[in-house]
Amino acid sequence: MRKVRINNEITAPVVRVVDAEGGMLGIMAISDALKIAYDRGLDLVEVAPQANPPVCRVIDFGKYQYEQHKREKQQRKQQHQTQLKEIRLKIVTDTHDLDFKARHAREFLLEGNKVKVTVLFRGREITHKEFGEQILQQFWQRLEDVAKFDQPIREEGRTMTMILAPDKEKIKKYQKFIQQQSNDE
């Protein structure tokens, strides 16, 4: 939270003053604005220091801080933090297991999270990288109706990874399709 100047901390010689209800009191010298605030038993709070002249409100500073804190908390609550979920596969992963893990990845993508799909190579499996690519391609085919590549397939030591991100347009089409299927039943 940025530092808010109140009362004698305000340095501008002239300010635009607004009362607690939002009514304009006009442009006046800082000393006159402070006198009005003290007469009402309230504080003079600089709410828009970048304006010309700066805008100050005659309000209770404690209440102002509480309202600001509440507003910021509400904004943080409405923000969605995308997470990176990881799904690990091996080159011997069977189709049923691949379908099962793809369902989980679909849920993650529909929630708005990214999915990192990793194929692990053990021992001599590293000599058959084409199997790893094949598994990742099969996984991609199961999810291409809701995802897009955030990072294409690449090798990292004994692993091969790709990162999928949710594609909003594809997800809307997918949800319409699911909605139509449920209506038809």
Give the model confidence (pLDDT) of 68-107 as tens digits.
899 888 888 777 677 888 999 888 888 888 999 999 998 8
pTM here is 0.56
Which residues does residue 106 pair with via DSSP β-bridges, in sequence order? none
- What is the spatial distance between Cα 66 and Cα 72, in angstroms, rounded to a whole number? 10
Select the more confidently predicted residue: 1 or 108. 108
Which residues does residue 155 pair with via DSSP β-bridges, in sequence order? 160
In the chain, where the domains are located: 7-77, 84-184
Domain 84-184 annotated CATH 3.30.110.10: yes
In one-letter notation, the amino acid at residue 149 is F
Give me the helices (H) in the chain, please.
Answer: 30-39, 61-78, 95-110, 129-143, 168-184
Handedness of CA 65, 70, 75, 81 (dihedral sign): positive
Where does the pLDDT of residue 116 fall: very low under 50, low under 70, confident under 90, or very high at 90 and above?
very high
147-185 tens-digit pLDDT:
888 888 888 888 899 998 888 887 778 878 887 877 776
What is 7-77's CATH topology? Ubiquitin-like (UB roll) (3.10.20)
